[in-house]
Amino acid sequence: MYRKRHLADNEKAFTAGSDSYLGKVGGTTFGTAVCADYEVSDEFVAASESGASIVFHSSAPGLYGERRTDNASWLAGFDWWRSSTIEKHSQRAKNLGIYIAMSTGAGATADEDFPGWSALFNPDGEIVAELPDWQAGNLIVEI
């Protein structure tokens, strides 16, 4: 079990966790980052320093403000999230020599819109696989 250690501004009612999470599958150690953990490098550094070769980052960043009602507004939200994520994860992957696999909630709920995007960054900081847009989809890669 992992409780995210970094909470977003709208999560004041929650209590942050205190420990990083490391798992192991088939001899491969991995770390986990959730939502606002993305804002700081703690989880990525902790995983790397503990021998993880990959960090899985799941997120549901809300697109606040007006609801997305057409392709242009969805594209604007998607472009914001994609460029923001590339800026952070490319550098982290390269600096730490790890893979970062990320997956984001996609679509609309009753009160919030999510930009959707999944990608895999290699240890050189390059995107080696990604979904093309904000639509729900599956990204299957072999590492």
The pLDDT of residue 52: 93
Mean pLDDT of 76-105: 94
The pLDDT of residue 82: 94
Alpha-carbon separation of residue 7 from 71, 78, 82, 128 (angstroms): 30, 22, 21, 29
The pTM of this model reads: 0.88
Structure confidence by residue, pLDDT tens digits, 18-34? 777 788 999 999 998 88
Both tokens of residue 59?
């997120």
Q: Alpha carbon 110 to chain centroid distance?
A: 22
The pLDDT of residue 17: 67
